[in-house]
Structure 1
């Protein structure tokens, strides 16, 4: 049985490596965020089972979110990939 199930949205995040605005060619990192995903990751890191339920786009951002959660041992078996959704 899963100790925690979260339901919500996650989104791709692009952040500049250095202070200042984003600009073409400026170094940046890509990650993901969302309160429910963050809580599921935290609970998993504390040694408890956690699942995240949501929908992601059928694109690189959606794949990054699912693989990132899976890498944190969050159950993503109920995540749905929707071709019509943006990542």
Structure 2
């Protein structure tokens, strides 16, 4: 579980971007590559300590493996039917 506010903020940005990529039709591999790049950037910049990045990576991968996170967030609207009187 993430507890540091900055780590949580990075996690939220990452997972929001992952869902947006899914909605745009990207495949699992593309989203995984995006996540790997995001984590690599965090490591490169040194904005978080290594153990926090590792926890963030574990949580993000868990998020990616859960299919319920990528279901449609909006209920599908019903279309009007053609009634004949």
Fold shared by both chains (TM-score > 0.5)? no
- TM-score bin (small chain): 0.3 to 0.5
| Higher share of residues assigned helix | 2
Larger-Rg structure: 2
Q: Report the TM-score when normalising by structure 1.
A: 0.33
Structure with greater strand percent: 1
TM-score normalised by the chain length of structure 2: 0.33
Q: Which has the higher contact order (CA 8 A, sep 6+)?
A: 2
